[in-house]
Amino acid sequence: MNTLTGKNVIVGISGSIAAYKACEIVRLLVKEGANVDCIMTQNACNFIRPLTLETLSRNKVHIEMFEQKKVWNIEHIGLAQKADLFLIAPATADTISRLAAGRSSDLLTSTALSTTAKIIICPAMNTNMYNHKATQKNIEALKSYGYEFISPESGELACGQVGDGRLCAPSAIVSHVKKCLS
């Protein structure tokens, strides 16, 4: 039985090398029966192509705040209202910072600030960025707002450093989503 049948999950993908792991997250969510809509930042599009996520999710990928629409819909509000859960994986230091400050400067942050659904953030970044006092302060601020975090793993990072900052395994992220929506 698919445990997420009938559930709407928004997956936000920000511009991290770990964006490629979002493909596996989306695939696993769809396999569990979820309807998945993806929101990509412009920087995420430098790491993976929207077509990949459209194919895996079977839905249009949303990128631009003000793209021309065939039907009337304020996109960030429509997506925010549709969500049973909003997952941001990977979440960069910049995305976390903008959310903590309440800045809605792109479709991903505007939708996150507009939703009443549970928000789960999965950080992925260089160890020094993750451990920086400003990033940790922003994470604590978001936790105080009710955002939930899945901590990054420790290991070898794309930059060659070893330490905290690697996106949690896609299977563990999806298991957490299933638990939250059950």
Please, what is the Cα angle at 70 between 68 and 75, to 5 degrees? 65
Q: Given 38, 159, 168, 180, which residue is catalytic?
A: 159
Instruction: Select the more confidently predicted residue: 72 or 46.
Output: 46
pLDDT of residue 80: 77
Look-up: residue for tokens 């260089």? 126
- DSSP readout, 100-166? HTT---SHHHHHHHH--SEEEEEE---HHHHHSHHHHHHHHHHHHTT-EE-PPEEEE-TTS-EEEEE
Q: How many helices (H) does the chain have, and how many strands (E)?
A: 8, 8
State yes or no: is 159 an active-site residue: yes
pLDDT tens-place string over residues 7-24: 999 999 999 999 999 999
DSSP letter (8 states) at residue 60: P
Q: How far apart are CA 78 and CA 51, in angstroms?
A: 22
pLDDT tens digit sequence for 136-162: 999 999 999 999 999 999 888 888 888
What pLDDT sits at residue 72?
46
Taken in order of first residue, the domains within the chain and their CATH numbers are: 8-181 (3.40.50.1950)
Model confidence pLDDT, tens digit, residues 67-122: 655 554 555 676 877 889 999 999 999 999 999 999 999 999 999 999 999 999 99
Contact criterion met (CB below 8 Å) for 32 and 2: yes
pTM above 0.85, yes or no: yes
Q: Over range 43-51, report the average pLDDT.
A: 96
